[in-house]
Structure formats: C-alpha cells, structure tokens
Structure 1
Amino acid sequence: MTERSSGGTAGDLRSGEWIFAVVGLPLALLGGGYALAVLYAGALLSLTVFGLPFVVVALLGARGAGTLHRRLVGRLLGERIEAPARLPRPAGLVARGRVVLTDPVAWRTLLYLVLRLPLGVLGFVAAVVLPLGCGWLIGFPLWIRLLEPGPRPAGWLDAASVVPGLVVLFAVPGSIRALTAANRGLARLLLGPARAQQRVRELEAARATLLAENTDQLRRLERDLHDGTQARLVALAITLSLTDDALAPDAEPDTGRLRTLVERARGQTDDAIAELRRLTRGIHPVALDGGLGEALPGLTATSPVPVTVRLDLPERPDPVVERALYFCAAELLTNVAKHSGARSAELTASATDDRIRLTIRDDGRGGAALGTGTGLTGLAERLAAVDGVLKVDSPPGGPTMITAELPTRL
C-alpha cells in the first residue's frame, strides 16, 4: 500500500525532489554496486560451500537497503510505501536460510538497486550537471570577455550560447519531475510487500473487519431484543395475567375491562411482531428474496430525495454480495438525504465480467471523501470484507459520484 503526501502540486518542483536527485547518486552507486557485486559473487561462489551462506547474508543486507530507500522515498518524494512483512523465523539454520533464499522482497530489492543506478545518474545530471551547463552557456559572453583582454564586439556566438542555455534551463524542472515520477513508480513496484503478502494482509484486514462487524451486529441484536422485544413480551404477559385474573371463577366478569385488556394484548402482540420484523429485516432484508432487481427500486422509493433507477443485472450474484450491495445502497442513499443537499439522485447497478457495480450520483454540494465523518470509511472496510472496493468522486460544489464494485461470486 502506498500513500502520496499532499505537499506541492503536480506542476511545482518540490525541494525534496531536487535533494533526492542530488543525494540519490551516491546511494544509487553504492546500492547498484552492491547488487551487481552480490549477483556476480553469488554466481561465482554458487558451486562452493560458501555460495548459499553468502547469498543469504547478501539478501538480508538487501532487505536493510530496501528499508533505507523506502524511508528516503517517503521523506523526500512524499511516497509512503508500506513496509513488507518481517521474515518468519523457523527453527534451525537450514530452515531460516531457505526462508531468506525464497524471500521475494529481498530479490525485488536487489532488482530495485540495479535499476536505481541509471536513474540516480540521470537524476544527478538533471539536478546538478544541466544547471551548471546552463550557467556556463548563459554566461558565455561574460566568461569570454573576462578571459580575453581588450574589447570584444557582440557576435552571433553570444546569442548561440545564451538561447540553448535558456532552453535547457527551462527543461530542467520537467526533467527532474519526470525522473521523480519514475523513481516513485519503481519504489512502488519493487520496495513494497510482494503481491502475495499484500493479498494476505488485505484478507487478514477484511477478516478482522468482518468479525468486528458481526460482533457488533450480535451485540446490537442482543440489546434490541432485551430492551425492545423482551420488554414488549413481558408487558404482553402481564396483560394476559390481568385478563386471566379478570376471568377467575369467583369474580364477576367485567366485560368492558376484559375488552380493554384483550385490545391491549392485541396491540402489544402487533408491536412485538413489528419489532421482530424490523430486527429480522436488519439480518436479512425480506426485499432481497426477489433479488436486487426488486430490492433496489423498493429502497429508492423510500428515499426523501427523488432517485432515478437504472438496472442491468442479468443474473443474481452470491447472497453475501447481494446483501452487502443492498446495505451499501441503503447507506449511500441515507448520506444523500442527510448530507448532500441534493435535489435529485441516480442509482445505477450493472453486472459485467464477473463484477457487479453500484453507482449513486447526486447533484448536491459535493465534498464527500473517505474519513470525513459520513461513514464512507466504515462502508469501504465492510466492502473490502467481500473483496469489494469503494471509489469516491466528489469535488466541492458537486456532483458526487460514489461507486461500489464487488465480485459477483466469492
């Protein structure tokens, strides 16, 4: 996982980029020389007893170099790269050596160090050599007059040196920015966790989110049953007990009181049934029995903001995906009604290439983003638990378009 810091716009040359280009040369030379030496010496020693131990130690050193370069890229280029997982430590030297030799992170770091070598040289040329050359070209008319005694008339050579110098000078920031983008991309590609490790982390985070959500739901259900349904049933039991007392053989029947108690019991029964229906609807909405094609139009019909519905769902996804998408649509429509100030909205759901996509667009004030208190962060985490993603496009002033994309089959 990577994160780009917000310092500077795309068109500004940040000081960190220039510093990285300057100090990156010695690090690139050292790192590239280290990687090439490791590969060369490892190949030479591969047929000896020293070959594998040497490669193991060299790969551990490569991991340390990767940590240094990750910090440098994060501090100077603003590219926060997630550190890979620590190596496991099995029992025995042979097992530990096997772990290091099969570590994809270390091998990818060696490749990074090799590729950083030409980028480091080019960066130093762009940040130091080119500006010095520009200064020499632009100042050529002055230098030549300082070196040669006597007056010297201006000639075509003066203009021929100044113009190229200015052109190259204006090209220096663009060159550094292009090399910075290349360094960022290379670091993202090779210094972060391996794809398999990243996938394991994502699955672990999704599992933790799913377990926490299920625990919260069970606690909320227990609280609602205790405070709501149980209280209604206790009240109903008391009413039925009073009715039984009113029907005692030694008591004179009071028809009016009996009718009042029966009507109260009927009302309490209806309330308990409605409460149970509400709770079960939160577990599995009855509307989903007919699929999203029936559930989503019914959901939009209850929205206070007029919603246009466009559906293209040739087949039903897995029940877990249907449920996640339904609750996602419900939460997004609630956000539209509460926070957007929109006059109209549009809900689109389509399924193509084993993916199902839900998009909700509104003409409100915009400014929605993950982590701004509208519940989008929690929603994104719940979607990640079913291998889904949430994308938010909401510039200030609107319109807002939020897209949830999930696999149709898990």
Structure 2
Amino acid sequence: MSGPLLQVRDLTVTYPGGAAAVRGIDLTVAAGRKLGIAGESGCGKSTLALALLRLLPPGTRTGGEILLDGEDVLTMRWGRLRAVRWAGASIVFQGAMHSLNAVRRVGDQIAEPLLLHGRVTPGQARRRTAELLEQVGLPAARAAAHPHELSGGQRQRVMIAMALACDPRLIIADEPTTALDVMVQAQIMRLIEGLVTDRDLALVLISHDLAVLADTCDRLAVMYAGRVVEEGPARAVYEDALHPYGRALSAAFPRIGDPASRFAPRGLPGDPPDPAALPPGCSFHPRCTAALDTCADDDPALRGTEDGRRRAACVLVGVGGVPGPGAVPAAEAVPGRTTPAPGAVTEAGGPGGGPADGPGPGAPEAAPGQEPEDGVRSGTTP
C-alpha cells in the first residue's frame, strides 16, 4: 500500500468525568520511519498510545480517525480489531514487571499471540519463541523462566519479543526503558532501533527523554495538556525548539560540553493543568514567561514553517507561517521587550535575567516529567 502506514486525524479522548486527555491530535508515520512523542507526565502520551489500538477503559469517549493501513481503528468491528492487535500493530508497555503475567512462564506469554491468531501449532510456537528470544538477545532457555526470575532489562526484552511475535508493521513503545539503568536503557534502545530498521517497521516511541528521542527518531512531537504543540525533525526540535514549552523541556536536560546544564538543569516552574479544568486560551500560558495578553484568550493551532518541515502552536513564533530554525526567541518577540523575561529560556538554553550557573527562581531540581509514575519506584507501600 502507498502512503502513510499510520494516520491520526483530529483525535480526541475524554475520560469519564470530563478529563480531556487528548485534544485534536494529527500525526503521520510511514513504514520504516520513527516518530517520538515527548512531554511531561499527564500530558496524554500514554493515553494516545492506548487509543491507537483501542485499549482505553470502558466509558472513554473518542473522536476523530486512527487510520492503520487505511482502516479506521475506531470503527472496526471487534473481530477485525482483534485480528489487527499484535498482527497489524503491537505495543510495548512501560513497566514490564506489571505488564507480564507473574504466574506464567515468559515463553508461554510470547507464544500466546501466535496461538491466538491461529498462525502456528504449539510446537511451531515453541520454536518461534526460541527464535524471538535470541533476536532480542536472550538465550532460548529463558523461555522457561517466570518474570520475577529475570532482570528489568531481560523482562523488557521479553516484552519486545512479544510485540514482534506476529510480525506487525507498527510498534508502539510506551516508555520502554522506564526504571532501567542507563547502560541497559542504551542496549534496549539500540535493540529497538535495529529491529525497526531490519524489519522496515514503523515506530511510535514515547519517552520523557528528549535526548533519546532525538538520537533514535526521525521526527519528534512535543505534547502539552493533551495537544501536540510542536512537531518536526527530531534533532531540530531538540536543539532549536520553536514553541516556548519545547524550549523549556529541552533546556531541562544536561548537554555534553555545557557544564552549567549538567550541574543545574533548568526546571519549568508551575504544574501542568488539570485536564478536567484547562485554562482558557493557550493551556501553557500560565507557565509561559513570555506570554502575551492575547495568550489568555487565543489557543493557536499548529502552523507549518515555510519549508513545511516543522509545525508549532504559538503566537510568538510567527503568523502566516512559523519561521524556520533560528527563529526569534520568545522573549524577543514581545513588543517593547529587549531582554528576556526572568526565567525565560534563551537560545543558549539557560534562563534570561538570572545567573548562568544556577537554576531560575523557584525552578524545581528535577527535569520536567521526570517524577516516578508508579508506586513501586516512588516508595509507596504496595
């Protein structure tokens, strides 16, 4: 088939109670391409991932279109949807320990989608499971292990093997390196990238880590409060974001060759808005140090650059076509302002109007979106 493998058009997701988790998202991914999704916790990344395969809880309202190979996932009958899951598209969930069945051997769990889709006999499923384990860097003998007998990295490799079992054309990886150490994270990302390239798969990779997404993906979409606020070539978005939120998110991560960024990451003041009670106008304006008066009333749509390679949703980056790389910093776009506002993110990646070697006033110590997402890692008693 010609054209994109995955097209998301004006997707909306509203949970019971009125929380608008996803608001009017448009995305496209072609076969063999890799799209990264970044943003703080609670911005709607995981909801988007679940919506792509209609895995949301009962009572959730969805709108728009999710076209997979030209078929709308949101209108598929149950039988067709069941056939598409694992075979057409599959998902690698975050937190493999919580996603795997604790009382079943991992080999049986890898073989399950093969048997459910009726593609193989039990004997063939065992042989295919051994092949998949070896492809993800695990000995075939580990098929007899239970999840608690494997390390975190090994469990994540099992999840990847499950996702590849039925040869899908699209892989959705939701925080695949959560709670893994840096060395294992790098191994898992190299594994995913290699498998996607070798099999000519499309990849939707969700992560808090902009640097990982910039190194792994072709394009990067930044989400805030359920919307995509910037999208473009991954490296360009990471190094020269057009949207003030994209700039702040990028500035929160240390950079090689910039000691100040390593010892004092630039946090973003304030908290993300409540999805059930979003502020009027641009949802980022209460936290934006360069916001104009109109930002409290106007919620700008994504606008493309003149070359069509990037999109951003912000009145500060131009009207009638967002400037390309090297756009005027947000603070300089404010009429009458000649110096950056206190705390505003500058081209150098640090806050204007403050010391170059320390965080801005009130800035949190951790990077945006880096808080633990489950009770086990946050210290909560199970």
Name the TM-score class by shorter chain: under 0.3
Of the two, which has the highest radius of gyration?
1
Q: Which structure is higher in strand share?
A: 2
TM-score (norm 1): 0.21
The TM-score with structure 2 as length reference comes to: 0.22
* Relative contact order higher in (CA < 8 Å, ≥ 6 apart): 2
